[in-house]
Structure 1
Amino acid sequence: MTIEVAPPRSGADRKRDTLTRLENDLDVWVSTASPNGAPYLLPLSFIWIGGGLLLATPERSVTGRNLRASGVAHLALGQTRDLVLVEGTVTAYTREEVPADLAEAFARQHWDARESKPPYGYFLVTPRRVRAWREENELAGREIMRDGRWLV
């Protein structure tokens, strides 16, 4: 079986496609680690707002604790043949601390997590590094953001 592979996209096309995913996808895989290095992975709903991904999850969940403790997250959008990987820093908010505009934007897209029980926290992931590729022919040039700055 031969797989037909499209020609590689330009960096500008990868950035455009990545922003389209961030603006339109609903869920993202979130990878965190505990203070002793134990990995944890699960999907969460998100919204793209103000250049970051806003997540909500129970404050005391493994993910909530890990995000608050480490201040970093690794996120994955898409399938293995159309992938966006985001590494970012985390700003954590309790439901009492979250800016109203962030919580309301999340509620419009998903649900009002301020009313969830157990108490949910909000976590704004600001991208520091973004990589995007579809096939092996896009591995070169897959890094489209470094140190929080778009390279393309």
Structure 2
Amino acid sequence: MTQTQRGQTGAPVRPLAQRKADVLEMLRTERNGWLATADSAGGPHLVPLAYVWDGSQIVMSTKEAARTVRNGGRARLALGSPTDVVLIDGDLCVLPATANVTPEAVRLPLHPSRVPGCVYLVLKPRRVLAWRDRSEMRERVVMASGHWLI
């Protein structure tokens, strides 16, 4: 096979439909990611957070006084490893502890019902990138403008 058919790891290059399925499986089974936000001056902030996926958005929680909460706005969640990357860009909403979010949120370590002073962070994906090695970089976008490409 040629380099365009196989990645550097030797695994076949995944078609877009398989990448989407792999992203959805990772969202469903993984529990932790790295959330990046920036303040109004563009100063970056990166924190590890537990999350749950409800099928359309990612729900996290943190202390209300956290810099992540103050930053709000646009955010990026990084999942996976250097050989199985998923980057999710979207709008980050901060919701009060009393908000009615997905029932799966009870699994969050900092669930507002158990940890006073916590709020929900809800990330609505707008763009999703997924690749395993350089051979998948060209077609790494699996969601754009909030819509899956396949």
Q: TM-score, normalised by structure 2?
A: 0.89
Alignment of 1:1-150 (within 5 A): 4-67=9-72, 71-96=73-98, 98-99=99-100, 101-102=101-102, 104-108=103-107, 110=109, 112-117=111-116, 119-150=117-148
Q: Which has the higher helix share?
A: 1
Gaps of 5+ in 1: none
| Cα deviations by residue, 1:100-127 (Å, 9 ceiling, x for unpaired) | x52x42114545323313x111011010
Distance 2:34 2:146 in 1: 20
Q: What is the CA distance between 1:4 and its match in structure 2? A: 3.8
After superposition, the Cα gap between the structure-2 partners of 1:36 and 1:4, relative to the gap in structure 1 and judged at 3 Å, is: closer
Aligned-pair Cα RMSD in Å: 1.5
Partner-residue secondary structure (3-state), 1:113 = coil
Q: Which amino acid aligns with 1:28?
A: G
AA paired with 1:6?
A
Identity %: 34
Size of the aligned set, in residue pairs, is 143
| CA offsets 1:38-87 (integer angstroms, 9 cap, x no match) | 100011000001401001011111112112xxx21111000011000000
Structure 1 contact 7–137 (Cα < 8 Å) conserved: no
Stretches of structure 2 that go unaligned for 5 or more consecutive residues are 1-7
When the two structures are superposed, what TM-score results if normalisation uses the length of structure 1? 0.88
